[in-house]
Amino acid sequence: MQRHERFSLAERAIQIGFWVNAGLMVMKLSAGYFGRSEAVFADGMESAADFIAILSTLIALRIGRKPFDEKHPYGHGKAESISAIIVALVIFATGGWILVRSIQTIVSGAAQTPEAIAVAAALVTIIVKEALFRYSYRIGAQLQSPALLATAKDHRKDAITSIATLIGVTGAFFGLSIMDPLAAGLTSLFIFHIGYETFRSAAHDLMDGLPSVELVTAVTMLAEGVEGVEHVHEIRGRRSGQYLIIDLKLDMDPEMTVKRSHAIATEVKRRIFEHFPNVGDVMIHINPHEEEHEDLIRL
């Protein structure tokens, strides 16, 4: 898949979520207000907060799709991880707002009996948000896009929120009015967990954390399968948006010509690109095989 196609696919998935979320927001705010449901109205406010998250993701995709330049030789992919951090913070803030609001309602004893329209709004939200999560997660996993995966988790967070909302508003509809704000409060705990997972993943990428062990092992085996490569001395990797940047140190025959070692390194890079479409660049350093050498590093 070409670079333009990758970013277009990701942006389309984000835009679909953006407009669907807009419709759900209006529906839930209206149903919560007119249906007298604390939980459903809070769910609508959560959707309003999601606008900030989704908008930041759209902006990040626009920035991240720019090719490398003189000031950004590794591209602009980190914008996606920054966006994921913003999404995580919005999720945290939303969870905190819902928790405080529900506690205030429970303590004051101001819980009301909701209308049927509030129950219907919660049910519709569960179905729509779960469908959005599955769609966004599938595309995000395919592209390995941090921003899109964070948005997918945000959709799943909304679906979980609405399940608790449905339980609470249904119970309140049948007379247990305390269940409406109680459901909203319990939902905030799920929201905090999803926010934490999103933040941890994005922070790992921003700190240039190593990719999965499975990927590192697969790249190592592939490189060592190229004729002329005696051993992969060291391998590193870091994420830049939808792409990975791989650093390899290859042990080769010390008597090999520069031209031959360059050709072998190029073949290693070509095979990595063929097998791993989300690898954006491969930097290769060559060491003499079975000879003492010093790898200088200051980190």
Amino acid at the residue 206: L
- By CB atoms closer than 10 A (0-12, 13-18, 19+), residue 30 is middle
pLDDT tens, residue by residue, 63-116: 877 877 888 877 788 888 888 888 888 888 888 888 888 888 888 877 777 888
Looking at the structure, do residues 258 and 121 belong to the same domain, yes or no?
no
Asked if 247 and 237 count as a contact pair (C-beta separation under 8 A), the reply is yes
Domain presence at residue 298: no
Instruction: State which residues form the domain around 67.
Output: 3-206
pTM of the full structure: 0.69
Give the per-residue SS3 of 131-174.
HHHHHHHHHHHHHCCHHHHHHHHHHHHHHHHHHHHHHHHHHHHC
Q: What angle do helix axes 78-108 and 146-173 make, rounded to 10 degrees? A: 20
Looking at the structure, do residues 201 and 251 belong to the same domain, yes or no?
no
Domain presence at residue 297: no
Q: What is the CATH number of the domain that holds 259?
A: 3.30.70.1350
Residue 283's pLDDT band (boundaries 50, 70, 90)? very high
Looking at the structure, do residues 127 and 261 belong to the same domain, yes or no?
no
Residue 188 Cα to chain centre, angstroms: 20
- The full DSSP string for 61-113 is HHHHTSPP-SS-TT-STHHHHHHHHHHHHHHHHHHHHHHHHHHHHHHHT---P
Domain presence at residue 103: yes
Q: Which residues are CB-contacts of 47 (< 8 A; sequence separation ≥ 6)?
A: 21, 24, 25, 28, 29, 158
Looking at the structure, do residues 13 and 41 belong to the same domain, yes or no?
yes
Q: How far apart are CA 281 and CA 279, in angstroms?
A: 6
Total count of domains within the chain = 2
Domain presence at residue 227: yes
Looking at the structure, do residues 30 and 140 belong to the same domain, yes or no?
yes
pLDDT tens, residue by residue, 203-217: 988 888 888 888 889
Residue 253's pLDDT band (boundaries 50, 70, 90)? very high
Q: Which residues are CB-contacts of 106 (< 8 A; sequence separation ≥ 6)?
A: 178, 181, 182, 185
Residue 146's pLDDT band (boundaries 50, 70, 90)? confident
Q: What is the CATH number of the domain that holds 46?
A: 1.20.1510.10
Residue 2's pLDDT band (boundaries 50, 70, 90)? low
- pLDDT of 1 reads 59
Domain presence at residue 282: yes
Looking at the structure, do residues 277 and 179 belong to the same domain, yes or no?
no
Looking at the structure, do residues 132 and 218 belong to the same domain, yes or no?
no
Domain presence at residue 182: yes
Query: Residue 252: what are its φ and ψ, rounded to 5°?
Result: -135, 170
Domain presence at residue 264: yes
